[in-house]
Structure 1
């Protein structure tokens, strides 16, 4: 989809009026945008969210889903939700860290041991604290969804260790932790919106990228990438955030319904994504990707973990990364 088409869809979607009917038959439409493909768990879980919100409110609230970057890039949908022009934005945590930099703690390399550790952090007091970081920026967090553990792909060579990354131009998010990690590993990080990534890989504007296997499969990166290395160098959460202005305009009953459904759907989405990992890896192999399943993660961690963490600690102190490390230990 071209940027011109996306802008046209965004303008049309944001121009849609809310349906006002006599009391007792009033319907409010909430517009929900995300950048992931239709085959991804985000789309499936978003549709479940929409169905359950409609059922729980007896049709008083309806949710319209715009997936696959239809309403623009990660930064565009966040900005639209902040202004109240869009109701719900779902995208990766790294894209929120420009306005709320303490969220960058979640993106520190080799920080999370496994998904159980992730759940203990995001669903506990740490997650509650991090949600509040976005309130002053006009966003009310409905939940932390799963993107997963990130892995490196590229079109040039197999990556067995840090030395194999030297000189590769790797697309990253604009997150400081991601950029610094690949700089330390000798690669050339190139931040790009996810909606622009396939074309950048196809045209060789970048050599590779880093994302979980589910997203690599669902975005069909196997068409433009030969090598996959299961580096699992960082975990990425998705933030489902509602415009604070729109949330506060809902009735208390409807606020409660939206939050209750989001709380119920969040663990389902995480389970969907986790279950899809092995299936995605098998399909990527079948599609012809050459997979390095056991790269030298310890060697990479030795290079990047301490200096990237130090950058965060120098700005914000050690309390947050220390709490994450110790969570459910």
Structure 2
């Protein structure tokens, strides 16, 4: 059994902050998750077209085991510059892996494709994402435990096949007293809702009406299992970070990321196609002892998958439509009741 902490946000795990930076004219942005101290991290990539930075560093057996921050960004491959901006900010603050008198902040990240959403992408010689990464890291460093959801940060320009996407978050406390939380930038090739109706695929996992309280349809609608996908290839990717306060090694963090991927399958249809670059990062702050390394990790991974599903649904539920002709409607606009 799990319970939901008060904020129901990633920051319910102590030891981290979240900052956003975005440009409404660009219709894109960046989100930085900044850890108070370096943490163990891993990742699991299942989409066919990922855009990532420093993910090889997260494999087992690498020399540098801990990271300082993770960046999620719009902008496709251009958006990976946001990691460099966040890295530069952290070095300016004295953070990073020490090599004699030099510090190198370790900032993995991933980007989603939002280049065709109507925003002005004619940025000329210098894409803006490095500056957005600096600003997002600065916002995280000076922020509080609360942060905005919906069309903000990496979720500003995100879309699904039928509704505006966005940035969502959710958290839970396991029966072992371990906190686990997720943040998701939802830019799915498919849909977060069942068929053409208001029900979320993640409905069975919802807590306290966090994305409308609709539940799940008592009978699958006729179009419920119809495969709906964006018409333009390689224009999708859902980015997820799961964080726990449990003490995990790299191998266990990798297993947590693997189990958390099930949350995508519970909340998006279809998922893990050749058309997207879906990824789950997992990080552990190490403030609580997990207990049994096998059953405790199994319970933690199960809860992680659930919070991922809930975070994805919240990202779509909290989104607002972009102010451009032909933009996809937001969930609350299409289903105002």
Which structure is higher in helix share? 1
TM-score when normalising by structure 2: 0.27
TM-score when normalising by structure 1: 0.28
